[in-house]
Chains A and B, each alone.
Chain A
Amino acid sequence: MEGNLNMVGYGLAAIGPGVGVGLIFAAYINGVARQPEARGVLQGIALLGFALVEALAIIGIGLAFVL
């Protein structure tokens, strides 16, 4: 079997951001369910949080290819 151990490392590294993104959208859905009229405000915040958390996963994939 051939391959690069970096990719296994990246798979492990993606767990954290995966949990984080899940938490963010869970909170967003909860918020909208409780207060549907707040959807517009919450959407921007949720996407912003998603982008910030996802950056970790994205940096991980960059390092997996570079290192």
Chain B
Amino acid sequence: MSITIKRLSKFYGKTQALSEINLNIQTGESVGLVGLNGAGKTTLLKTIVGLIINFDGEVLINDLPAMDRMARLSTSFLPEDFSPPLYLTGYDFVSYMLRLSGGNLNQSEVDEFADTLELQVNVLSQPIRTYSKGMRQKLGLLAAMLPDTEIIILDEPLSGLDPGARVVVKDALGTLRKKGKTLFFSSHILTDLEEIADRLVIIHEGKEIFDGKPEELRSYGGRTLEDAFLHVIRSNRTS
């Protein structure tokens, strides 16, 4: 068992961000998390990686509490709208993340991974402040993938990327999936999720309202996956 979430609830003041979430993600599964803005997706991901520590319920990574240092050894995280430290170079940042994970920079391995993300090697020697948004996102993904952790948690990994970059990143996630990594990531783009995820989890107003395969979601009707998603949302909408 990779990730176990039991009766997870989280309040921000009087606002309930998560309500009694129960979720199990097995080793090697690729699970997509989807919901409207403000549904609680980022809050859920943050509790798994130990950024949020004040919550009710239990979050376990390989049977260890999520805040445990050993649990974090097996996890990588890429936040939403993330920007690496501007004055480091790409190599510096990747090396920083690798060393914190207990590894070392292997330049040829970094170059190989960078190539799969279509991140040019000469760019990695430049300061990050010269990078475009797409390049920073790819660098973040590179830094999340390289430590070779068992579990990779990504918050909106495809956000802000042009169509070409989205294809490249989806291919990279597909490769990770084939390698047996456990992926848990959020996205607003259901068709992208359908391509990479074995399973979809829908969160609405802090509650888990769907957990199943993409084809099971399609059975809710409509021409597209978005139609089915909206049908699920509307049928669970609280007054």
Does chain A bind chain B? no
Residues of A within 8 A of B (CB): none
